[in-house]
Structure 1
Amino acid sequence: MRKILLVSVVAALVMIMAACGSNNDKSGNANNTPAENTGTAAANEIVIKASNWKFDQEVYTIKKGEATTISFKSDGVHGVEIPDLQVKLTDGKSKDVTVNDAGEYELHCDIPCGTGHSKMIAKIKVE
């Protein structure tokens, strides 16, 4: 009986750690020009890569007013959200955006991924 209880608890923990995410795939923002991924490549691209509780860079830089493809790749169960740009991506997805306002925009993992989830924060710097 104890083995069954232990196996059930472990299975529940594994499912919690794996987390399920949304496949919502939105782009653009109210203050900037929204752009859907239309199949035509933007002149610039950044690739955001996520692994165990971190992004591969602390700051990603794009140019103000230029179409940029934001791509996301993950080595686990992660997603990326840039709330101020209304961008939300899952593994293997990308969006074309044009940001007309210089500044810094926070991005974070939007899929609960374990103990380091709250530290998965980086920035998009628009120059």
Structure 2
Amino acid sequence: MKIRTGILFLMLILIAALASACGSSSTSDTANTANATSTTSAADSSATGKTVEIKLGAKDFEYDQKEIHVKKGNHVKITLTSDDGGHGFTIPDYNVDIQGNKSAEFDAKNAGTFEYHCSVMCGTGHTQMKGKLIVDEA
């Protein structure tokens, strides 16, 4: 009976730790909105072959940009920031995977719509963390 109680206690601690990994943050929503607006504008106005830098925030089981637009031929640098726990970012079709507050770079060689999602198990809302990379023809 003591073993069952001990195992149950450890499971409760593990669940609490996972839930707190994606807790709320004190970062202002105004800063995130300004960041999302400026990076989207930079991506939309870029010309083919140029480097496009995108800052993507992850918070409360969602990304601050549901869609990222770039042009075919752009070199893309995505920087992931998360203040409320461990999150990731992956675009499987472009072999991009970011773990935590880091960056990744790739060339947008193929036009189309590609799904991105969180690649770090971050809690109960993990499966809702997704969006679309839209690569438009140049």
Q: What TM-score, normalized to structure 1?
A: 0.70
Q: 1:94 to 1:5 in 2, by over 3 A?
A: closer
5+ residue gaps, structure 1: 20-41
Q: Quote the Cα distance in structure 2 between the aligned partners of 1:70 and 1:5.
A: 41
Q: Quote the Cα distance in structure 1 between the aligned partners of 2:58 and 2:76.
A: 19
Q: Is 1:116 matched up with 2:125?
A: yes
Match of 2:15 among 3, 13, 20: 13
Q: Is 1:73 matched up with 2:58?
A: no
Deviations 1:4-35 (CA, angstroms, capped at 9, x unpaired): 7775343121244449xxxxxxxxxxxxxxxx
Task: Note the aligned Cα RMSD (angstroms).
Answer: 2.4
- Cα offset, 1:101, TM superposition: 1.1
Task: Give the aligned residue type for 1:92.
Answer: N
Relative to its length, the structure with more helix (as a share) is 2
- Cα offset, 1:100, TM superposition: 1.5
Match of 1:114, SS? coil
Q: Quote the Cα distance in structure 1 between the aligned partners of 2:105 and 2:7.
A: 48
5+ residue gaps, structure 2: 23-49
Q: What TM-score, normalized to structure 2?
A: 0.65
Which structure has more relative contact order (CA 8 Å, sep 6+)? It is: 1
- Name which of structure 1's ranges 9-18 and 109-118 shifts more when overlaid on structure 2: 9-18
Deviations 1:34-71 (CA, angstroms, capped at 9, x unpaired): xxxxxxxx721112211111010110111110112111
Q: Quote the Cα distance in structure 1 between the aligned partners of 2:10 and 2:65.
A: 38
Q: Is 1:84 matched up with 2:93?
A: yes
Amino-acid identity (%): 34
Match of 1:43 in 2: 51
